[in-house]
Amino acid sequence: MVRAPCLLLLLPLLRFSAATLEPCEVDDENFRCVCNFTGPQPDWSSAFQCMTAVEVEIRGGGRNLEQFLKGASADPKQYADIVKALRLQRLTVGAVQVPAPLLVALLRALGYSRLKELTLEDLEVTGTMQPPPLEATGPPLSSLRLRNVSWATGGAWLAELQQWLKPGLKILSIAQAHSLAFSCAQLHSFSALHTLDLSDNPGLGERGLIAALCPHKFPALRDLALRNAGMQTPNGVCAAMAAAGVQPHSLDLSHNSLSAAAPGAPRCDWPSALSSLNLSFAGLEQVPKGLPGKLSVLDLSCNRLNKAPRADELPVVSNLILDRNPYLDPEASKQQDQNSGVVAACAHSALTVGISGTLALLRGAGDFA
């Protein structure tokens, strides 16, 4: 009875300490902890609050983390027990300059953790990563996402980073990359990788894709996403996939400025497993030639088709999506005329919502099949 009023008296104090802008904040469930060290003279020790969180996000305001290098040479075995006890499963590190040896030290330490998902954003990695000694392995990641990460070692970075990850990575996404011309000879096979997302690399193009898709390194690939990746024709992408020997089930080419076909381009044999092709938001005025003969999903929404495609122009498709093309929807064409090149906006109509709702259901069902 006495305790409750005492606690209430403390409340103004709590509010006061929150107002003094702690760089780190953890939610009531101790689930998610977010640190923003952008301010002047950040108190790094505030990050200890995140020790028991499952999701941790740290932004460094572009700072160089060199000052932590001294501790980086310590043997991570010393604190293995503490790291093993962490609940941490998802970690995002953003807006810092990291010397490669420090990144290595972090990965070594996380090797004792249960970290599943690592995201690096707006990072500059300086120097080179040493190869691991035989017994050392990094975290057992299932997903690795990189956005705007630059590496001093150019195209060798993926092979260097891969050495520090336990095998088993399922999802790899690399956006705004500085180099996707990987050193394929040094790369090991990503034997469990089912999703490769190279979206938001507008300078990639089909030639860059050939360099990025190292032959036979992605044997389990099912989903390949190339949104806004400078792709020019579906056939060119097909050729790059054939050269790499990848056999995805779904290919997302939306938000590329696609043309129907390069003149005189040779025919390409699509992967036999390909069942879903997304060509939406691609500025298409006609259905591209040389598409796969049979698909379960073909998304041609938000293009510039002025008349209904004829059956002989289309593959055999169970789920054809054509909404928001000018022939169906004069409003859409008005919007598209305002955007040159790739159609940027494609507002939702009742039709879109209806169809995408059905699709979401279908996709949900597919996940459990």
Ligand X SMILES: *[C@@H]1O[C@H](CO)[C@@H](O)[C@H](O)[C@H]1NC(C)=O
* Sites of contact with ligand X (CB under 6 A): 36, 38-39, 59, 122-124, 148, 150, 227, 252, 254-255, 278, 280-281, 297, 299, 356, 359
| Residue in 195, 119, 120 with CA at minimum distance from that of residue 150 | 120
- Closer to ligand X at the Cβ: 105 or 343? 343
- Closer to ligand X at the Cβ: 22 or 117? 22
The letter for the amino acid at 53 is: A
Q: Nearest distance from residue 106's CB to ligand X, in Å?
A: 17
- Closer to ligand X at the Cβ: 18 or 82? 18
The letter for the amino acid at 18 is: A
- Closer to ligand X at the Cβ: 22 or 122? 122
Element spanning 119, H or E: strand 117-126
CA distance to 148, 163, 228, 235, 293, per residue, from 263 (Å): 35, 43, 22, 11, 20
Q: Nearest distance from residue 205's CB to ligand X, in Å?
A: 19
**Could you tell me how many helices (H) and strands (E) the chain has, helices first?**
9, 13
The secondary structure of the chain in percent helix, strand, coil, rounded to multiples of 5, reads 30, 20, 50
Q: Nearest distance from residue 367's CB to ligand X, in Å?
A: 13
Q: Nearest distance from residue 96's CB to ligand X, in Å?
A: 8
Q: Nearest distance from residue 301's CB to ligand X, in Å?
A: 7
Q: Nearest distance from residue 189's CB to ligand X, in Å?
A: 28
- Closer to ligand X at the Cβ: 169 or 343? 343
- Closer to ligand X at the Cβ: 117 or 124? 124
Q: Nearest distance from residue 241's CB to ligand X, in Å?
A: 18
For 88-117, b/e burial (b = at least 16 CB within 10 A) is bebbbbbbbbbbbbbbbbbbbbbbbbebbb
Give the Cα separation of 76 and 101 in Å (integer).
Answer: 13
**Strands 24-26 vs 32-36: parallel, antiparallel or unpaired:** antiparallel
- The DSSP 8-state label assigned to residue 368 in this structure reads H
- Closer to ligand X at the Cβ: 162 or 280? 280
Give the Cα separation of 122 and 105 in Å (integer).
Answer: 20
> Residue by residue, what is the 3-state secondary structure of 73-101?
CCCHHHHHHHHHHCCCCEEEEEEEEEEHH
Q: Nearest distance from residue 43's CB to ligand X, in Å?
A: 13
- Closer to ligand X at the Cβ: 22 or 124? 124
Give the Cα separation of 238 and 289 in Å (integer).
Answer: 12
Sign of torsion over alpha carbons 284, 289, 291, 294? positive
The letter for the amino acid at 259 is: S
Give me 206's structure tokens: 């089909």
- Closer to ligand X at the Cβ: 142 or 356? 356
Q: Nearest distance from residue 360's CB to ligand X, in Å?
A: 9
